[in-house]
Chains A and B, each alone.
Chain A
């Protein structure tokens, strides 16, 4: 077990170096000078230009810059935004709860609908329901979510007037950030209106971001269930005369959920990428929107730091899933 654990963890180091190198090198290729971008149209005098270049370390050789960069990253210093002068890590941490809140809601939405739908589809194999679930999930899987968001705005906000178009909460409420999760903060504030406003703002982004994971989870649950339902111990359970519900809910589901758990872990990457699109459509103040804005402002440090942090997060979650899977399933642990 220890050996398995150590091998998996040690694989993270080259990946970490790879990600930093990738992000670092790519950013160096950007055309245009960040100091001039920062100065804007007013221009900047050469002395101040040189001074700023030195201050941000742009005048050193590339390899030295990379070395310095890694050194600072390891100390948690991801540099400052060229635009706002805030530390990248601080900005990321301020905005990250919004993204996490959205991502959590989306994955819960996907699980609550996807797992039951997958189970029923498997139990009623080849029924109309099964074909319906498979059809819808393939459609969901093929969905351009940026368009899906616009269509939902068109239907729910414009036609029916049910949900707001953008943001996390109505402007008339001010909620003191405690946890950063508005659902919790607004509940704590004892302002019922603020809470419902938050909920209403969450509905559409949740559906949009949850669509692709929902499709994947439903398909995966169905195929895992089908496989398990064909096993001998299910036949034994049936032969013993156990009630059908008990067989499905207790005997089959428990084993079928193992691959599903892995798939859920692997959806984290999908969620973060989806969050970039979703946040852009709904003006959701999270890290996705922040990254896209950084691109158009040529804010290197933000793009660099944000991409690095998201990459590391996804890597860590994947590692945890891997380790958890090894714990559950000894067969994985013993194959090298």
Chain B
């Protein structure tokens, strides 16, 4: 009896409180089928990347000239041992694609992490200190934005020397302004609010205000931009790889694979088709996810 009377008010209370934040988010997010599809594709790619050693039937680097340019298994001359065929020096396409997923995700995540961390700090600093600091930081970002992004990345890599590390740095620098601008704009709207004033009055220092009070309230746009940023990063890094400025052969980076395959476009469609398809699908998935996150997280655009 007592147990029952205890239970009833609890149930009533839970209907009165708003749904859990994650539940609300998922409600909005799952209404967007594209975004859910994107999320599942990304989970798939992550899984493939993590389990690359188990999933890949061959080593991505093992060459075998006698097996060069074998077509995929459904075409005449292909075998199930090399499901997607082999490249000009007899490496298994499927295995290279699987290991490529690891590289592309790594590139995307590292690049965006670098830009988000530096960009947020610069944006917070610009938004908090205003004045000359702000002008200096924002002008610098405007200059970076003025240059076409890939052109700037190309110039930077040309200078630092080709390679995956340098191409990641270049892309990180190129997408940096977006995060700085977002963080600064968010800080400026947030600092005029009462809770920041309250924190300031109760004696919180600038660092605390910046990172503990304001930053958690600017995360939504940053998360959205991060998802879209990963897609840009993967795409630009692949473009650099394709131009011979990014990851170097024999690395199974998808863009680099395409560069190697270019001259065989007339003879072997599969060496060209699959790496690009992998880039397209991954980039598309992150864009879909980003759109979905924006709809779900940005209250201004909600239900519009």
- B-binding residues in A (CB < 8 A): 11, 14-15, 18-19, 22-23, 26-27, 29-31, 135, 138-139, 141-144, 146-148, 150-151, 153-154, 158, 269-270, 272-273, 276-277, 280-281, 291-292, 295-296, 303, 307, 310-311, 314-315, 318
In the assembly, what is the distance between CA of A303 and CA of B231, in Å?
A: 27
B238 pairs with A295, CB closer than 8 A: no
Q: Is B139 an interface residue (CB 8 A)?
A: yes
**Contact A146 B242, beta carbon cutoff 8 Å:** yes
Chain A residues with Cβ below 8 Å from B159 are: 26-27, 29-30
Q: Does B273 contact A (CB under 8 A)?
A: yes
Instruction: Report the separation of the CA atoms of residues A15 and B143 in the bound assembly, to the nearest whole angstrom.
Output: 5
CB-CB nearest 5 A-B residue pairs: A147-B276, A18-B143, A269-B148, A273-B150, A142-B284
User: Contact residues of B with A, CB < 8 Å?
Assistant: 34, 139-140, 142-143, 146-152, 154-156, 158-161, 231, 235, 238-239, 242-245, 255, 258, 262, 265-266, 269, 272-273, 275-277, 279-280, 283-284, 287-288, 291
The answer to whether B262 touches A150, judged by C-beta atoms less than 8 angstroms apart, is yes
Contacts of B242 in A (CB 8 A): 144, 146-147, 277
**Beta-carbon contact of B283 and A144 below 8 Å:** yes
Known: A138-B291, A147-B242, A311-B148. 10 other contacts (CB 8 A): A19-B146, A138-B284, A144-B239, A144-B276, A269-B147, A273-B148, A296-B244, A303-B155, A307-B152, A310-B147
Query: Nearest Cβ distance between residue A269 and chain B, in whole angstroms?
Result: 4
Question: B160 and A18: CB pair below 8 A?
Answer: no
Contact (Cβ within 8 A) A18 B139:
yes
Interface pair B269/A154, CB less than 8 Å apart = yes
Q: Determine the distance from Cα of A101 to Cα of B137 in the docked complex, in whole angstroms.
A: 37
Query: Nearest chain-A residue to B277 (Cβ)?
Result: A147
Tell me the nearest residue of chain A to B231, going by C-beta: A142
Tell me which of B160, B243, B280 contacts A142 (CB under 8 A). Answer: B280
Distance in angstroms between the alpha carbons of A270 and B245 in the assembled complex: 19
Whether A29 lies near B160 (C-beta < 8 A) is yes
Q: Which residues of A are found within 8 Å of B231, using beta-carbon distances? A: 142
Smallest beta-carbon distance B232→chain A, Å: 10
Q: A151-B273, A151-B276 are in contact. Are A276 and B151 (CB under 8 A)?
A: yes
State in angstroms the CA–CA spacing of A310 and B235 once bound together: 21
Q: Is the CB of B146 within 8 A of A291?
A: no
CB of B276 within 8 A of CB of A26, answer: no
* Chain B min CB distance to A115 (Å): 22
Q: Can you name 24 A-B pairs with beta carbons within 8 Å?
A: A23-B155, A138-B291, A139-B280, A143-B280, A144-B238, A144-B258, A146-B239, A146-B243, A146-B258, A147-B276, A148-B276, A153-B265, A158-B269, A273-B149, A276-B151, A277-B243, A280-B243, A281-B262, A291-B151, A291-B154, A307-B151, A310-B151, A314-B146, A315-B146
The answer for the CA separation of A146 and B242 in the assembled complex, in Å, is 8
Secondary structure at the B interface, as helix, strand, loop or mixed, is helix
Query: Cβ of A19: which chain B residues have Cβ within 8 Å of it?
Result: 143, 146-147
The answer to whether B273 and A292 have CB atoms under 8 Å apart is: no
User: In the bound complex, what is the Cα–Cα distance between A11 and B255 (angstroms)?
Assistant: 38
A151 to B262, CA, bound (A): 10
Residues in B whose Cβ lies below 8 Å from that of A314: 146-148
Residue of B with least CB distance to A303: B158
Pairwise interchain contact B154-A142, C-beta atoms closer than 8 A: no
Q: In whole Å, how far is B116's beta carbon from the nearest beta carbon of chain A?
A: 21
Residues of chain A within 8 A (CB-CB) of B284 are: 138-139, 142
Task: Name the one of B143, B150, B266 contacting A276, with C-beta atoms under 8 angstroms.
Answer: B150
Q: Name A17's closest neighbour in chain B (CB-CB).
A: B143
Q: Is A154 a contact partner of B156 (Cβ separation < 8 A)?
A: no
**A26-B148 contact given A147-B275, A277-B239, A292-B243, CB 8 Å threshold:** no
Q: Which residues of A contact B243 (CB under 8 A)?
A: 146, 276-277, 280, 292
Residues of B with C-beta under 8 A to A153 = 265
Taking a contact as CB atoms under 8 Å apart, the answer to whether A318 and B273 are in contact is no
Q: Of residues A29, A153, A295, which shows the largest number of chain B Cβ atoms within 10 Å of its Cβ?
A: A295
Least CB separation from B286: chain A residue:
A142
Q: Do A30 and B158 touch (CB < 8 A)?
A: yes
Instruction: Please name all residues of chain B whose beta carbon is closer than 8 Å to the beta carbon of A146 when the two chains form the complex.
Output: 238-239, 242-243, 255, 258, 276
Q: Given A19-B146, A272-B151, check contact A154 B160 (CB 8 Å).
A: no
8 Å CB contact of B288 from A23, A138, A303? A138
In the complex, what's the smallest C-beta–C-beta distance from B266 to chain A, in angstroms? 6
Q: Which residues of A contact B140 (CB under 8 A)?
A: 18
In the complex, which residue of chain B has the Cβ closest to the Cβ of A295?
A: B158
Q: Which residue of A lies closest to B155 (CB)?
A: A307
Do A142 and B146 contact each other (CB < 8 Å), given the known contacts A147-B276, A280-B243?
A: no
Residues of B within 8 A of A273 (CB): 148-151
